[in-house]
Structure 1
Amino acid sequence: MADPRLKAAFAARRFIVAPGIFDMISAKLADGMGFECLYVTCFGTVASHLGVADAGIATYTDMVGRVGAMARGTRTPVIADADTGYGGLLNVRHTVLGYAAAGVSGIQLEDQEMPKKCGHTPGRRVIPAEEMALKIRVAAEARHDPNFLIVARTDARTTLGLEEAIRRGRIYAEAGADVIFIESPESEAEMQAIGRAIDKPLLANMVEGGRTPILPAARLAEIGYAMAIYPAIGFLAAAAALEKAYAHLKATGDSAAIGESYGFGRMTTLMGFPEVWEFEQRWAQGGTSDGAI
């Protein structure tokens, strides 16, 4: 079931900051930080799982298991990127049902042609707005939980311009989307125009090095946004730390002097080893320590 806290946060008009998660380490770390939502990024999940570009290569089957693991392994509501819904209308229905069963509280669907591309890279093309509106209507009908949110993304800005992107955002809102995501506006002025034009919760995509300016959460709320996702922050930080550690090891042959790390003890705790050790100790004694048998 979808977590009702996420829909309640939107209803209360609390600005939602959602870090990107891409594997179970990032998911568990972010889960303990007190965020109101976590965002499963396709870019990071595809990169960490398959080691390829976020360019429509990953399938529904590749993604739903990993999405489910992250949702089940965390207590924070999760919104998951589901690309185009992995096909036509029947695929969209199947994807919504599968992601809902996996335990997420919201799904993001986009209006790109297949195969899709990462939203801050060139060459994206979109399907007709009316075709995407049908996908949104199918998604809205497929959900069985009113707390399950549909995020509708349009990639029209880059190829068709801001006016068309705003038009599509309005159409998708009318079709039943709960949150509107206009991808890659290219200035703060464009973001302000989006905030004035669409009367629906708006999502801002804050990608370090992307096409959209990075604005503080307070400023995003001021110009009309309800939520910001930071899909790349985790895997970019992880890649930088790994590069530094591996380079040091290669240069020196010594891991002891790499410097500050998360710590093996902390990692064992994060992954639940203390519970494993307690379980093993109890059953090594025949399960009698708590009077069970």
Structure 2
Amino acid sequence: MLHSTVPAHVKRRLFRERLATGELLRLPGAFNPLSARLIERKGFEGVYISGAVLSADLGLPDIGLTTLTEVAARGAQIARTTDLPALIDADTGFGEPMNVARTIQMLEDAGVAGAHIEDQVNPKRCGHLDGKAVVDDTTALRRIRAAVDARRDENFLVMARTDIRAVEGLDAAVDRAKALVDAGADAVFPEAMRTLEEFAAIRAAVDVPILANMTEFGKSDLFSVDQLRDVGVNIVIWPVSLLRIAMGAADRALDALLSEGRLTELLPQMQHRAELYDLIDYEGYNRFDSSVFDFDITR
């Protein structure tokens, strides 16, 4: 009821312990707090909070227009609703190294388990668009060192994302990944890898967990969990998938209203009221106050 019963520091510790086993952890992207709770109920190992989803939710393109305050607030809303660890997209850290340090501490306060900081030039753009630019080695490493130095909980995962593959090629991505780990990164997110062999090359280059981004309509093929596990990937995210599916369903429902004037034919595709109330845990609130949940939701 109300909040997760697992404190943030415990979520972080358990997340680190699971990563240390070498197993592959599946983190679907939660587009709101309720979807995070559904991800937990289905049995996934964590939730991902995408900057692209947050910007889209605000009606904005993913080009660095969202603020640290907005990202931290959404992170807190999602983290509080689930016992799962949440990994959040912190873009370029919202400024220079001092800003990166503040970003990490605010995200710690929000209750998430970790964040990734990328090496794009600020303002950034979606990692699967053409025309990206990345910062030089010195700037990229300063961002990660600032993030590591700023955290107060040693189990808060500082992940370094590098977008250099699309700009300078795989060899540059391997070299950048090594340097980011040397700077203190706990994990590496090599963005826009094109093949399983490229993931394998990053895996061979670093001794920390690596993440695969399985976003639709992007630069990477949509590899299966088994394929990614076989090349040593430790975390896989589907950052925008649930939002895309939900918006596709909304689009079709609005078309049905225009053409049919009702949604009767779409009822089998909807989450039932009873399922929604169960996910929200109305009965848990009723145990606290019997006047809250005193109605029939079976119809």
User: With structure 2 as the length reference, what TM-score do the two structures score?
Assistant: 0.90
The aligned length equals 283
Map of 1:59 onto structure 2: 67
Whole-angstrom CA distance in 2 between matches of 1:79 and 1:127: 23
Map of 2:297 onto structure 1: none
Map of 1:265 onto structure 2: 274
CA contact (8 A) 1:179 1:201 kept: yes
What root-mean-square deviation, in Å, do the aligned CA atoms of Structure 1 and Structure 2 show? 1.7
Q: CA deviation at 1:23?
A: 1.1
Which string of whole-angstrom CA distances, capped at 9 and with x for unpartnered residues, describes residues 3-45 of structure 1? Answer: 1111001111111111011212221211212211111011112
Q: Are positions 1:22 and 2:70 aligned together?
A: no
Q: Are positions 1:38 and 2:47 aligned together?
A: yes
Whole-angstrom CA distance in 1 between matches of 2:124 and 2:118: 9
The amino acid of 1:13's aligned partner reads G
Task: Name structure 1 gaps, 5 residues minimum.
Answer: 285-293
The amino acid of 2:290's aligned partner reads Q
Map of 1:99 onto structure 2: 107
The amino acid of 2:153's aligned partner reads D
Corresponding residue SS for 1:131 = helix
Q: CA deviation at 1:190?
A: 2.1
Distance verdict in 2 for CA 1:242–1:138, change over 3 Å: same
Map of 1:13 onto structure 2: 22
Q: Are positions 1:220 and 2:233 aligned together?
A: no
Map of 1:196 onto structure 2: 204
The 5 A counterparts of 1:106-255 are 106-255=114-263
Percentage of matched positions with identical amino acids: 33
CA contact (8 A) 1:180 1:202 kept: yes
Corresponding residue SS for 2:126 = coil
Whole-angstrom CA distance in 2 between matches of 1:279 and 1:194: 51
Whole-angstrom CA distance in 2 between matches of 1:67 and 1:168: 28
Which string of whole-angstrom CA distances, capped at 9 and with x for unpartnered residues, describes residues 189-242 of structure 1? Answer: 322222222222111111111101121222212212111111122111111211
Whole-angstrom CA distance in 1 between matches of 2:257 and 2:283: 30
Corresponding residue SS for 1:180 = strand
Q: CA deviation at 1:249?
A: 1.5
Which string of whole-angstrom CA distances, capped at 9 and with x for unpartnered residues, describes residues 134-192 of structure 1? Answer: 11111111111121111100011111111111111000001111111110012233222
User: With structure 1 as the length reference, what TM-score do the two structures score?
Assistant: 0.92
- More moved, 272-281 vs 234-243: 272-281
Whole-angstrom CA distance in 2 between matches of 1:276 and 1:244: 34
Corresponding residue SS for 1:96 = helix
Task: Name structure 2 gaps, 5 residues minimum.
Answer: 1-7, 294-299
